[in-house]
Amino acid sequence: MPYVTTEDGARIFYKDWGDGGTPVVLSHGWPLDADAWDAAALFLATNGHRVVAHDRRGHGRSTQTWHGNEMDTYADDLATLIETLDLRDVTLVGHSTGGGEIVRYVGRHGTARVARLVLVSAVPPFMLRTDDNPEGLPVEVFDQIRAGEAADRAQLYRDLADGPFFGHNRNNDVDQGFRDAFWLQGMTTGHRGAYECIAAFSATDFRDDLAAVDVPTLVIHGDDDQIVPFEVGGKRSAELVDGARLVVYEGSPHALPDTDRDRLHTDLLDFIDS
């Protein structure tokens, strides 16, 4: 299996699909891995693009490091991947936590290799409620997730899959296979990495990173997202990126790469090829 090695010795697993063409890098959400993007990767590669999707450190087949489970290191790992593969004119696509990773990459490494940015149900600009971020969610929301991760993460992932992640608790008809895949990917993630990543996606302030974005940006968000509410995430991110285009999926939940697969694929391809 292909890996790149970071400065601290972590091995980052990645998939590299397609026969060439404009590169697209897909960054996954918590507590998942690159498999969460398989359908999109196959679609984009079939339509003429080189598609790279990696397992974030601590997740899936990558090294379960004790340290570095935070956004700065995630972004630096992404830089290692992009530079090792010498990818240029890249479209970065991030779902949920992956949206934070790609935005922090821009904040730390710039856009010299980046042509476009796509945020899908993404955690920026800042999920946690603070004095200067009153629109965020209270810390108790994330403390509850941490408590579930610490006490019985297998049940936590089952509860998320059967409830808010896919919107299954809203009487949406979500295939059992999608929910089982979420649980399985979550259980391959290292326990410490998963626990620390909760702080990474909730308490990282991406407002300065968004201000540094100077490439065409597409923001896609469902307005019934119970994980990253639209008013907290997509709406505010689009306001902070100069010229960003916001596409709202009415009635859609957090897991757009599964629940709104065909529409998302079309929107991604149209934007990448524009």
Token readout for 103 is 């935005």
H or E segment and range at residue 11? strand 11-17
Count of domains in the chain?
1
Catalytic one of 225, 258, 260, 267:
225
Q: Please, which residues have CB within 8 angstroms of residue 167's CB and are 6 or more apart in sequence?
A: 174, 224, 226, 252, 253, 254, 255, 259
Among residues 64, 58, 67, the alpha carbon closest in space to that of 28 is found at 58
Return the CATH number at 114.
3.40.50.1820
Q: Please, which residues have CB within 8 angstroms of residue 270's CB and are 6 or more apart in sequence?
A: none
What local confidence, expressed as pLDDT, does residue 69 receive? Answer: 98
Residue 254 annotated among the catalytic residues of the structure: yes
Q: How far apart are CA 12 and CA 60, in angstroms?
A: 10
Token readout for 94 is 């991030």
Catalytic one of 35, 54, 254, 258:
254
Distance, CA of 21 to chain centre: 23
On whether the pTM is more than 0.75, the answer is yes
SS3 263: helix
What local confidence, expressed as pLDDT, does residue 20 receive? Answer: 85
Cβ atoms of 177 and 167 closer than 8 Å = no
The angle subtended at Cα 214 by Cα 128 and Cα 235, nearest 5°, is 40
Q: How far apart are CA 274 and CA 256, in angstroms?
A: 21
Residue 96 annotated among the catalytic residues of the structure: yes
What local confidence, expressed as pLDDT, does residue 229 receive? Answer: 98
Residue 27 annotated among the catalytic residues of the structure: no
Which residues of the chain fall short of a pLDDT of 50? none
Distance, CA of 250 to chain centre: 20
Q: How far apart are CA 118 and CA 96, in angstroms?
A: 11
Catalytic one of 96, 121, 202, 252:
96
* Residue range(s) defining the domain that contains residue 266: 3-272
Token readout for 136 is 């965020």
Cβ atoms of 251 and 223 closer than 8 Å = yes
Can you tell me which residue has the tokens 């697969």? 261
